[in-house]
Amino acid sequence: MIDIKLIRENKELVKENIKKKFQDEKLSLVDEIYEMDKDVREIQTKCDSLKSNKNKMSAEIGVLVRDKKFEEVSQVKEKIKEIEEQIKELDIKQETLNKEIKSRMLIIPNIIDESVPVGKNDEENVEIERFGEPIVPNYEIPYHADIIENLNGLDKESAGRTSGEGFYYLIGDIARLHEAMLAYARDYMIDNGFTYAIPPFMIHGDVVTGVMSFKEMESMMYKIEGEDLYLIGTSEHSMIGKFKDQIVKKEELPIAMTSYSPCFRKEGGAHGLEERGLYRVHQFEKQEMIVLCEPEDSMDWYNKMWKLTVDYFRNLNVPVRTLECCSGDLADLKVKSCDVEAWSPRQQKYFEVGSCSTLGDAQARRLGIRTKDSNGTHYVHTLNNTVVATPRGLIALIENNYQEDGSILIPKALQSYMGGMEKIERS
């Protein structure tokens, strides 16, 4: 949510930002908010004037009582009563207008960074840099589900009976490899100075609307029937929510945390579920990182965070690239975002394995997360980034470490988490 001062003082900037995001249907909201905000401030001026008059009249009553002018006392009290009724009516009108303003402000997109390329959708995202040589071996690499099934590591048929489409069983060494990636990600982030956390896997509705847009919520979140609880789609949600309505001590900033969680997503709409494989599923696990910092430090943290993900995958022998997300591909709360994509030697193209975003003070403003210095309180900036989400990250590891005999080489970084095992092969 942007600062309403932007609409008061430079609504054309807000409109231009909306146009860059190709959301012209929201342009009229800016004028509506502008006019309602004017009305709110006019009401406040009237209320302040009425309250001032009421205070003066209340002070007069004491003088009139002292002078035993009881008839005039009754008249003044009647006027005070009328003023109180006017104030009450104005308060109700102001409260209604403020609710209308907030409902509109929540769907006005955040102001994107000047460096963000303008484009309609993810097809217009811009490649930034490649890391590692994207190799295509001289032997065929089967589909990842076939590789895993051949190693007795996947059972989607049974998962279909227990849970339906979009779920899976990982078994044996493949399940162990999956967890090794997460354990290594945890230790890797701790070694890089992040505090480890395991958060709640369900959150209240006001936290959901604090961390994401309504459009994202509708397409992603599972609601717990009969309760004000949602299953998280990423631990960023509950990790940022941890600081809701808090004033963080200035000396505690920056706060850098890394969190593990299962994640639950509907995966509805155009993308749909992947019928055979593990690329797009309802349930997965992830190691995430979040940062709360001063506004002037957020871009430095943004660049540090995506580089950590790049280095993580390079330590697993996975070539990656970074893509700058264009304006039309940015979620409404984001200021700037890039995707980390892993090389698929089977498809001979890259696919997304992580996303790094800075959201400015949008989440902090919605959730009331502030810090305090000599100039008073102000909102912090929040950032988030995927260390690894698996099984998608598992697919990248398997394809890039697959051998012609059907085995998978285990990268050195993971071998200690696999009991010293160097290779997974069919038993």
Averaged pLDDT, 329-354: 96
Q: Which tokens sit at 227?
A: 């309760």
Are 288 and 236 in contact by the 8 Å Cβ rule? The answer is yes
**What single-letter DSSP state applies at residue 266?**
-
Query: How do 381-390 and 376-379 pair as beta strands?
Result: unpaired
Q: What is the pLDDT of residues 371-425, one digit of tens each?
A: 998 889 999 999 999 999 999 999 999 999 999 999 999 999 999 999 999 999 9
pLDDT of residue 93: 95
pLDDT exceeds 60 at position 269: no
pLDDT exceeds 90 at position 308: yes
Name all domains of the chain by residue range, CATH numbers in brackets: 4-105 (1.10.287.40), 122-424 (3.30.930.10)
Are 379 and 282 in contact by the 8 Å Cβ rule? The answer is no
pLDDT exceeds 50 at position 258: yes
User: One-letter amino acid identity for 200?
Assistant: P
Of 54-63, 262-271, 343-352, the least confident: 262-271
pTM of the shown model: 0.90
Confidence of residue 213 (pLDDT cuts 50, 70, 90): confident
Q: Report the mean per-residue pLDDT for the chain.
A: 93
Confidence of residue 270 (pLDDT cuts 50, 70, 90): very low
pLDDT of residue 96: 95
Confidence of residue 218 (pLDDT cuts 50, 70, 90): confident
pLDDT exceeds 50 at position 131: yes
Averaged pLDDT, 358-364: 97
Averaged pLDDT, 46-57: 89
Confidence of residue 69 (pLDDT cuts 50, 70, 90): confident
**What is the Cβ-side half-sphere exposure of residue 388, based on CA atoms within 13 angstroms?**
30
pLDDT of residue 6: 94
pLDDT of residue 242: 97
Q: Residues of the chain with pLDDT > 90: what percent?
A: 84
For 351-389, b/e burial (b = at least 16 CB within 10 A) is eebbbbbbbbbbbbbbbebbbeeeeeeebbbbbbbbbbb
The 10 Å Cβ neighbour count of residue 42 is 12
pLDDT of residue 268: 55
Averaged pLDDT, 252-276: 81
CA 175 to each of CA 155, 247, 363, 424: distance values in angstroms, whole numbers, following the listed order: 11, 42, 35, 11
Are 61 and 78 in contact by the 8 Å Cβ rule? The answer is no
Beta strands in 188-272 (DSSP E): 195-197, 202-203, 222-223, 230-231, 247-248, 255-264
Averaged pLDDT, 281-309: 97
Query: How do 126-131 and 320-324 pair as beta strands?
Result: antiparallel
User: One-letter amino acid identity for 186?
Assistant: R
